[in-house]
Amino acid sequence: QQQVKQSPQSLIVQKGGISIINCAYENTAFDYFPWYQQFPGKGPALLIAIRPDVSEKKEGRFTISFNKSAKQFSLHIMDSQPGDSATYFCAASGGNQGGKLIFGQGTELSVKP
């Protein structure tokens, strides 16, 4: 019940295309779902986050879509750029877990020029 499953493991997208990364969770007590971006040698950086009371949140080229009934959420990167090439992690927290973030396994995104 504590797992967050992320797919795909790796993704190659052409410049200008849409990158889509999916995550699924089991614990219905989770109430906070962030996405992090990590470049090699750096710490994860908070990109965007959503709560279950909304179905979509958009910030610039990044959009989270949230499906509460399916217990799934996804990150869409519009107009993908080579500078977006990084590893992306979804995560979840909430319930009686304190501040514990449970991370997905990560998706390595490569945007080709």
Partner 1 sequence: DSGVTQTPKHLITATGQRVTLRCSPRSGDLSVYWYQQSLDQGLQFLIQYYNGEERAKGNILERFSAQQFPDLHSELNLSSLELGDSALYFCASSVATSGDEQFFGPGTRLTVL
Alpha-carbon distance of 94 to 102, in angstroms, equals 10
Instruction: State both tokens at 5.
Output: 């499953």
First to last CA, the chain: 40
State which residue, 17 or 87, has the beta carbon closest to partner 1. Answer: 87
Contacts of 5 (CB under 8 A, 6+ apart): 23, 24, 25, 104, 105
Among the listed residues 20, 24, 48, 49, the single contact to partner 1 using CB under 8 A? 49
* 107 interacts with partner 1 by CB under 8 A: no
* 102 interacts with partner 1 by CB under 8 A: yes
* 66 interacts with partner 1 by CB under 8 A: no
Do residues 8 and 105 make contact, with C-beta atoms less than 8 angstroms apart?
Answer: no
**Candidate ranges 11-19, 20-28, 62-70, 93-101; the one touching partner 1 (CB under 8 A):** 93-101
* Residues forming the site for partner 1 (CB under 8 A): 32, 34, 36, 42-46, 49, 89, 91, 93-94, 97-106
